[in-house]
């Protein structure tokens, strides 16, 4: 995950975006404790999925090493996931986007360049980050995503408005193992294993060495399946 600040924003916009970033930490904690996480609306992203399913979402790809490893893992366990893709990386690896779709997974928009903090960007640049990624994915695979996740989960009224104007559904998460930090396989397993029906799990296949994520999921996915959990796509619950 790219956490470097975008220096083309004003100090006030940066501070406001950082405040929203930490606010959403608290909101996600509340959502995790709810019997049913919020499935989204006009003023909020979706933190959960309807019904008894659970959604696995994978951010920051496609990556030439870790996306194929992740796809092999998902195929082995017969699990569907949603890959939130970065436009610049789609342009570099369009064949991986085609492989994701051919394997039956969903794809979502994760901005063109993953700027941080995303909510600090001016509205025209917000829309450009999202719209350019839509175009790159359509060029690669012939379809336009229906889902968008803000880089770092950095939402604001402007981000949600731009998402809706482009016709996308905003998707957040409920369970975050912080695998992008490479905290250790056992910690990732413990965090993901807390997932319950109706929740959205966050993992990564891009942005660094994702060997811990792959190893952890190879343990967690069969456990979840043994618990009777069904993996669905956020935004439609299928």
Task: Note if 172 is an active site residue.
Answer: no
Using CA atoms, how far apart are residues 3 and 22, in angstroms rounded to an integer?
14
By CB atoms closer than 10 A (0-12, 13-18, 19+), residue 234 is buried
The tokens describing 118, both together, are 């995303």
Residue tagged active-site, from 6, 59, 158, 205: 59
Using CA atoms, how far apart are residues 65 and 59, in angstroms rounded to an integer?
14
Using CA atoms, how far apart are residues 170 and 12, in angstroms rounded to an integer?
25
Residue 80 CB partners (closer than 8 Å, separation 6+): 56, 74, 104, 105, 106, 231, 232, 233
Using CA atoms, how far apart are residues 106 and 84, in angstroms rounded to an integer?
9
Residue 79 CB partners (closer than 8 Å, separation 6+): 56, 221, 225, 231
Collapse the DSSP code of 56 into the 3-class scheme (helix H, G, I; strand E, B; otherwise coil) and give the result. Answer: strand
Task: Note if 59 is an active site residue.
Answer: yes
Helix 211-226 / helix 66-77 crossing angle, nearest 10 deg: 10
Residue tagged active-site, from 105, 110, 114, 204: 204
Using CA atoms, how far apart are residues 146 and 1, in angstroms rounded to an integer?
22
Collapse the DSSP code of 65 into the 3-class scheme (helix H, G, I; strand E, B; otherwise coil) and give the result. Answer: coil
Q: Mind telling me the catalytic residues?
A: 59, 204
């Amino acid at each position: 995950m790219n956490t470097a600040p975008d220096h083309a924003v004003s100090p006030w916009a940066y501070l406001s975006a950082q405040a929203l970033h930490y606010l959403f930490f608290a909101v996600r904690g509340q959502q995790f404790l709810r019997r049913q996480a919020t499935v989204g609306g006009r003023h909020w992203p979706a933190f959960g999925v309807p019904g008894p399913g659970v959604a696995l979402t994978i951010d920051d790809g496609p990556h030439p090493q870790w996306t194929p490893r992740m796809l092999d893992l998902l195929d082995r366990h017969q699990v569907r996931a949603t890959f939130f893709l970065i436009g610049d990386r789609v342009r570099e690896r369009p064949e991986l986007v085609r492989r994701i779709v051919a394997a039956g997974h969903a794809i979502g928009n994760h901005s063109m360049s993953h700027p941080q903090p995303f909510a600090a960007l001016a509205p025209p640049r917000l829309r450009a980050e999202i719209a350019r990624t839509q175009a790159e994915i359509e060029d690669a695979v012939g379809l336009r995503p229906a889902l968008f996740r803000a880089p770092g989960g950095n939402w604001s009224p402007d981000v949600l408005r731009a998402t809706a104007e482009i016709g996308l559904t905003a998707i957040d998460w409920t369970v975050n193992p912080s695998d992008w930090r490479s905290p250790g396989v056992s910690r990732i397993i413990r965090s993901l294993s807390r997932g319950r029906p109706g929740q959205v799990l966050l993992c990564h296949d891009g942005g660094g060495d994702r060997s811990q994520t792959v190893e952890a999921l190879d343990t967690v996915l069969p456990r979840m399946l043994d618990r009777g959990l069904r993996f669905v796509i956020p935004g439609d619950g299928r």
